[in-house]
Chains A and B, each alone.
Chain A
Amino acid sequence: MRVVKTGIAGTLESSDVMITVSENTSKGIEIELQSIVEKQFGKQIRRVINEKMEELGIKDATISVNDKGALDCTIGARLEAASYRAAGISHVRWEEK
């Protein structure tokens, strides 16, 4: 999957996360993280993001994350939704999950 525009998903409410996936002018995955639990979980959040991007096959992207204490599965879901929106693809391939 390739990022062709900006995709945003999630909310700023408690236990959720708002994620913006946009094109990266340089190569690789660039993560901008703002989290209410940055100290304890910052590393884990970044790991979840990198794993999901690998799963989705996205190599270059800027990911802006505003986390309000979301669980890993929530981060994964919001990131995937934002990524599909950023790639302009409307149907997830559920058969591959």
Chain B
Amino acid sequence: MEKLRRTMLYVPGNNAGMVKDAHIYRSDSVMFDLEDSVSINEKDSARLLIFNALRTLDYEGIETVVRINGLDTPFGLDDIKAMVRARPDIIRIPKADSADDIKEVEAIIEAEEKLAGLESGSIKLMAAIEGPLGVINAYSIATASKRLVGIALGAEDYVTNMKTKRYADGMEILFARSQIVTAARAAGIYALDTVYSDINNEEGFINEVKLIKQLGFDGKSVISPRQITPVHRIYTPEQKEIDFALRVIEAIHEAEEHGSGVISLDGKMVDKPIVDRAERVLAMAKASGIMVHEDDI
């Protein structure tokens, strides 16, 4: 079954209090940031903090992500060496412009995994697309590595590169969003939307989440625990969807019982995308705490 990534909580990597409590807010993933939220003079300190936290603390099954610094900085290489050994679930690459950016990081991870005696491929990758070139290359980025499980939009840097700024209706990043989610779907990986920085504007936030759900994004990066519940609520399937999903699963069981190779429901064929969606809907329903009648399956 697919992993839910409705919310990725962004945690500044040098904040000991937030790092140790990251899991209590129950986002689907937590992202420890070694990049923009850590000042240059504190990169070494934050790296050790996250290394120790990942090796020592129990994040109760919540997916752990570390955003490293780019290889074009003095910090990227040390970040990779440390984090390969710290074993988060995912390493997130910032500002990916092309498939090469992914391959470069992957090669180093591969080498370090070997040195550390770790199973190759044990750490997954994510990439953030934060500039026009990256948007154009979204599909080749999305298919650059078997380890890559998702791509995300970083809108702040993107709009700066595009010589515009963020607006409430998001038109300025519509193309970027569409391109990224399309590339992700074509590559069979996840698409995550950018952060919403005005944490006091609940209405604006909800509107944005509804929009990106409509566009097909799997979830959103959040910068405050307060933003988690609204996203989960919006990503909660409606009862109609849940009922349909249950019927799809039932149809699958029936087909298996009768040894039939074709699954049908209401006279129509049920193919893989529909099955996937049904599973996803039920997973989201369960995660939202909705009682899914297991005995109906």
Note whether A and B contact each other (Cβ less than 8 A). yes
* Chain A interface residues (CB < 8 Å from chain B): 9-11, 13-17, 70-74, 76-78, 80-81, 84-85, 90-92, 94-95, 97
Segment with Cβ contacts to A, from B51-59, B98-106, B289-297: B51-59
Segment with Cβ contacts to A, from B15-23, B210-218, B220-228, B255-263: B15-23
Asked if B78 is at the interface (CB within 8 A of a chain A CB), the reply is yes
7 closest A-B pairs by CB: A15-B17, A16-B16, A73-B56, A81-B45, A73-B52, A94-B81, A77-B52
Complex CA gap A81/B57 in Å reads: 19
* Chain B interface residues (CB < 8 Å from chain A): 14-17, 19-21, 44-45, 47-49, 51-53, 55-57, 78, 81-82, 85, 115-116
Question: Which residues of A are found within 8 Å of B16, using beta-carbon distances?
Answer: 10-11, 13, 15-17, 70-71, 74, 78
Question: Which residues of B are found within 8 Å of A90, using beta-carbon distances?
Answer: 44
Not counting A16-B17, A74-B20, A78-B49, a sample of 9 additional A-B residue pairs whose C-beta atoms are within 8 angstroms of each other reads A71-B16, A71-B57, A74-B16, A77-B51, A78-B16, A80-B48, A81-B45, A92-B82, A97-B85
Question: Which residues of A are found within 8 Å of B81, using beta-carbon distances?
Answer: 94-95
**Contact partner of A73 among B17, B44, B55, CB < 8 A?**
B55
**Contact partner of B49 among A13, A77, A91, A94, CB < 8 A?**
A77
Complex CA gap A97/B57 in Å reads: 17
Chain A residue at smallest Cβ distance from B45:
A81
Q: Are B115 and A95 in contact (CB under 8 A)?
A: yes
Q: Are B48 and A77 in contact (CB under 8 A)?
A: yes
Q: Are A73 and B85 in contact (CB under 8 A)?
A: no
**Contact partner of B45 among A14, A77, A97, CB < 8 A?**
A77
Complex CA gap A74/B19 in Å reads: 10
Chain B residue at smallest Cβ distance from A81:
B45
Question: Which residues of A are found within 8 Å of B48, using beta-carbon distances?
Answer: 77-78, 80-81, 92
**Contact partner of A92 among B21, B78, B115, B116, CB < 8 A?**
B78
Chain A residue at smallest Cβ distance from B14:
A11
Q: How far is the CB of A80 from chain B (nearest CB, A)?
A: 5
**Contact partner of B85 among A71, A85, A94, CB < 8 A?**
A94
Instruction: Name the residue in B17, B51, B53, B57 with the highest tally of chain A Cβ atoms < 10 Å from its Cβ.
Output: B17
Complex CA gap A70/B17 in Å reads: 8
**Contact partner of A9 among B21, B45, B55, B78, CB < 8 A?**
B45
Q: Are A91 and B45 in contact (CB under 8 A)?
A: no
Chain A residue at smallest Cβ distance from B49:
A77
Complex CA gap A95/B82 in Å reads: 9
Chain B residue at smallest Cβ distance from A91:
B78
Chain B residue at smallest Cβ distance from A16:
B16
Question: Which residues of B are found within 8 Å of A77, using beta-carbon distances?
Answer: 45, 48-49, 51-53
Chain A residue at smallest Cβ distance from B81:
A94
